[in-house]
C-alpha cells in the first residue's frame, strides 16, 4: 500500500530543500498532486493530509471524480492534459484552473464558457518550448498572440506559463525550464508551472512557482 501522507511529506520536504538551495522562500512554490488514473480514495488520503490542489489529465475522469468527491469542500482541480475546444465548456465547469491552453480557439471557447462565473477561471498557457512533435502546447513564436487574446477575455485570469520538458537529458530539461522562464518574463507573467516527480528540484532552481507531482505521491499509475 502506498502511504500517501508519508509521500506527501517527503515531496514537500524536497520542495523546501530545493527552495533553500535556490535561496527562495519555501511558500513560493505550490504543489499540485497529479492524481490521473488514481482512484478517488487516493485523493481523499492526500486531502486528509492537507493537500488541496490536484491535477487531472482527462475531462471524463474529472467528471467522475468531481461527483465522487463532492463532499470535499476545498478540493481544487487543475486540468493538465490536452484540451480540445469541443470539451472546453465542460472543462470550465469542472476545473478551477486549466493549465493546457494552447490555441486562440481554446481561449475563445473557455471565455464563452466562463461568462457569468462568480470567479474568473484560472488558466496557464502551455508552451512546447523544445518544439517536440509528440507534445502539445503552443510554439514560442505563437505565444504573444495567445497572451494578448487571453488578456482580453474578462472571465479568464492568465496566471502564467506551463511546460512539459523533454525527458531523459537533464541539460535539455534545464534548457526548456530556462526558456519558459524567459518567455514568462518577456510577457510579465508571474507564474511558472514546471517540474514533476523526477525533475522538481531542477524546476525550482529555474524559478518554478508550481510543480505537478504524481508518481512520487501516489506511486506508479495503473496502465490505462
Ligand X SMILES: *Cc1c(COP(=O)(O)O)cnc(C)c1O
Residues in contact with ligand X by CB under 6 A are 34, 36, 57, 80, 164, 196-198, 212-216
- Smaller CB separation from ligand X, 5 or 58: 58
What is the nearest approach in angstroms of ligand X to the Cβ of residue 73? 25
C-alpha torsion 95→99→104→109, nearest 10: 0
Among left, alpha and beta (phi > 0; psi -120 to 50; other), residue 192 is: beta
Specify whether the backbone of 118 is left (phi greater than 0), alpha (psi in -120 to 50) or beta. Answer: alpha
Contact 170, 181 (CB under 8 A): no
Closest distance between ligand X and the C-beta of residue 213, in Å? 5
Q: Min. distance of Cβ 61 from ligand X in angstroms?
A: 12
C-beta of 49: minimal distance to ligand X in Å?
17
Residue 57 CB, shortest distance to ligand X, in Å, is: 5
**Closest CB to ligand X among residues 14, 36:** 36
Q: Which residue is nearest to ligand X (CB)?
A: 214
Identify the residue whose cell numbers are 537529458: 169
Q: In whole angstroms, how far apart are CA 130 and each of 13, 51, 81, 164, 172?
A: 30, 31, 18, 9, 9
Closest to ligand X by CB, 30 vs 155, is 30
186-224 as b/e, with b when 16 or more CB fall inside 10 Å?
Answer: ebebebbbbbbbebbbbbbbbbbbbbbbbebbbeeeeee
H or E stretch covering 121: strand 121-126
Q: Which is nearer to ligand X, 153 or 214 (CB)?
A: 214
Which CB atom, from 14 or from 153, has the smaller least distance to ligand X?
14
Amino acid at each position: 500500500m502506498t502511504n500517501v501522507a508519508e509521500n506527501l511529506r517527503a515531496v514537500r520536504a524536497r520542495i523546501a530543500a530545493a527552495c533553500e538551495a535556490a535561496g527562495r522562500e519555501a511558500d513560493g512554490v505550490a504543489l499540485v498532486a497529479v492524481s490521473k488514473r488514481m482512484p478517488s480514495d487516493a485523493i481523499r488520503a492526500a486531502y486528509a493530509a492537507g493537500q488541496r490542489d490536484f491535477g487531472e489529465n482527462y475531462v471524463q475522469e474529472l467528471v467522475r471524480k468531481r461527483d465522487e468527491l463532492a463532499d470535499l469542500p476545498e478540493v481544487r482541480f487543475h486540468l493538465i492534459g490536452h484540451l480540445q475546444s469541443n470539451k472546453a465548456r465542460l472543462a470550465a465547469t469542472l476545473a478551477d484552473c486549466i493549465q493546457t491552453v494552447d490555441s486562440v480557439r481554446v481561449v475563445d471557447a473557455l471565455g464563452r464558457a466562463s461568462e457569468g462565473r462568480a470567479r474568473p477561471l484560472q488558466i496557464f498557457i502551455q508552451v512546447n518550448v523544445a518544439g517536440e512533435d509528440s507534445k502539445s502546447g503552443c510554439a514560442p513564436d505563437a505565444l504573444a498572440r495567445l497572451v494578448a487574446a487571453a488578456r482580453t477575455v474578462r472571465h479568464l485570469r492568465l496566471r502564467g506559463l506551463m511546460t512539459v520538458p523533454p525527458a531523459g537529458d537533464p541539460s535539455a530539461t534545464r534548457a526548456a525550464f530556462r526558456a519558459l522562464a524567459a518567455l514568462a518574463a518577456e510577457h510579465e507573467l508571474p507564474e511558472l508551472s514546471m517540474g514533476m516527480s523526477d525533475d522538481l528540484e531542477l524546476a525550482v532552481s529555474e524559478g518554478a512557482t508550481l510543480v505537478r507531482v504524481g508518481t512520487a505521491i501516489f506511486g506508479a499509475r495503473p496502465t490505462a
